[in-house]
A and B are shown apart, each in its own frame.
Chain A
Amino acid sequence: MPRTASDLFEGYHVKVYRYFLRTVGSHDVAQDLTQELFLRVVRHVTSCSPDREVAWMFRIARNLVVDYRREHPAPPLPLAEAFGARTEATQIIAFGLSEALRLLTDTDREVFLLREVAGLDYQELAEACDTTPQAVRLRVSRARGRLKALLSRRLSADEDKRRNQDG
């Protein structure tokens, strides 16, 4: 029996919100998009089979982001405050990650966030992004490689700055 929209909200609203927040960079917009997503879910939840509802829901989320981007083509707001990292080490990497995410292509950022934030597997990612699992595998790897490179650059730049301040 398919789950109700309320069940899906309880299970996924935080993940959906974080996906939106990291994509659009604004708390208010992320909440608005989360609301819009679940209102669409409640209208169409019976049309989706239970084993595909996560991919289906994040496909709607992705489409909402695409629509939002079409209407608001300005670059996303700084995301640093979006990452409430708890430890000092992860604060550094989180700040760097928020910056680095902005430098990824839309498709790479989207696939990375859907993988890491929403926890979709490659098959679900392929369904959500209208592509194949092989393409997803390549995109995730490419996004990680790019993030790794950007973060290394960022961390070494921070290190140089600190060294100059000490010196």
Chain B
Amino acid sequence: MTPNHAEVLSAFFDGETVEADALATSLQEPDAIEYLLEFARLRRAVHEDASRPTEEFCETMRERLARADRQRQSRRRLAQMSLAASLALAAALGGFTVRGVLEPRQLGPRGGGLTQASRAPDRSSGPSAEPVSSPIVNAPDESTRVRPKRAVPSPVLRLRFTEWHDVVL
């Protein structure tokens, strides 16, 4: 039996894919059957091995591994919660910042920059004169004046922020 033929028989015996032609050639070898029988005897001898670790050892290991698995899972859960909390916190802070930047622009600059005190009526044209239309917007009185909102989180958001802060720390 050449090493190549023995290799094909060995792989075939192990259930690996072999070339059909190579297997046919190997099986035609005079001692091919003897080889296969010897492989089977070896396997049987190995599989009839009854040695096992002691039951005491197995019990100790089961307890240790179960404890270690539990610890690992709780650490993993804590890490996931921390990550989720960090992401939520980052999103919230990002949101507040964007809101603080955008909202004053949408509402215009502070201090009535677009408004101007109304001019005094032009007395020179007489009392019957029509009021001159002007592109200048009259300044609203104090009660109707719109003030830009400050970028301060609402109480609800502040409460959530506190909760997240507590969770993270």
Closest B residue to A116 using CB positions: B46
**Majority secondary structure of chain A interface residues (helix, strand, loop or mixed):** helix
Chain B residues in 8 Å Cβ range of A141 = 3, 6-7, 9-11
Q: Which residues 54-74 of B sit at the A interface, judged by CB distance below 8 A?
A: 54, 57-58, 61-62, 64-66, 68-69, 72
Q: Is B42 an interface residue (CB 8 A)?
A: yes
Report A105 CB to chain B, min CB distance, Å.
15
Q: Which residues 1-34 of B sit at the A interface, judged by CB distance below 8 A?
A: 3, 6-7, 9-11, 14-16
Q: Mark A26-65, 1 if CB is under 8 A from B, else 0.
A: 0100110011001100100010000000000000000000
Chain A residues in 8 Å Cβ range of B6 = 141, 144-145
Tell me if B62 and A9 are in contact (CB < 8 A): yes
Q: Mark A127-167, 1 if CB is under 8 A from B, else 0.
A: 00000000001101110110110010000000000000000
Give CA–CA (A33, B48) in the complex, Å.
22
Chain B residues in 8 Å Cβ range of A106 = none
Report A100 CB to chain B, min CB distance, Å.
9
Q: Is B50 an interface residue (CB 8 A)?
A: yes
Number of A-B contacts (CB under 8 A): 115
Report A127 CB to chain B, min CB distance, Å.
15
Q: Is B43 an interface residue (CB 8 A)?
A: yes
Contact residue among B46, B53, B65 (Cβ-Cβ distance under 8 Å from A14): B53
**Majority secondary structure of chain B interface residues (helix, strand, loop or mixed):** helix
Q: Which residues 39-98 of B sit at the A interface, judged by CB distance below 8 A?
A: 39, 41-54, 57-58, 61-62, 64-66, 68-69, 72, 76
Tell me if B61 and A97 are in contact (CB < 8 A): no
Chain B residues in 8 Å Cβ range of A27 = 51
Report A108 CB to chain B, min CB distance, Å.
12
Chain A residues in 8 Å Cβ range of B42 = 93, 97, 116, 144, 147-148, 151
Give CA–CA (A124, B113) in the complex, Å.
76
Interface-centre pick from A42, A82, A84 (highest chain B CB count, 10 A) = A42
Evaluate whether A85 and B48 lie within 8 angstroms (CB atoms) in the complex, with A6-B69, A122-B16 already known.
Answer: yes
Report A98 CB to chain B, min CB distance, Å.
9
Q: Is B161 an interface residue (CB 8 A)?
A: no
A–B complex contacts, Cβ < 8 Å, 22 sampled = A5-B68, A6-B65, A6-B69, A9-B65, A14-B53, A18-B49, A35-B57, A38-B61, A42-B72, A46-B72, A82-B51, A84-B50, A116-B46, A116-B47, A121-B16, A122-B11, A122-B16, A141-B9, A144-B10, A144-B38, A145-B3, A151-B42
Using a CB–CB cutoff of 8 Å, the interface residues on chain A facing chain B are: 4-6, 9, 13-14, 17-18, 21, 27, 30-31, 34-35, 38-39, 42, 46, 82-87, 90, 93-94, 97, 115-117, 121-122, 137-138, 140-142, 144-145, 147-148, 151
The 4 A-B residue pairs whose C-beta atoms are closest, nearest first, are A84-B50, A141-B10, A141-B7, A42-B68
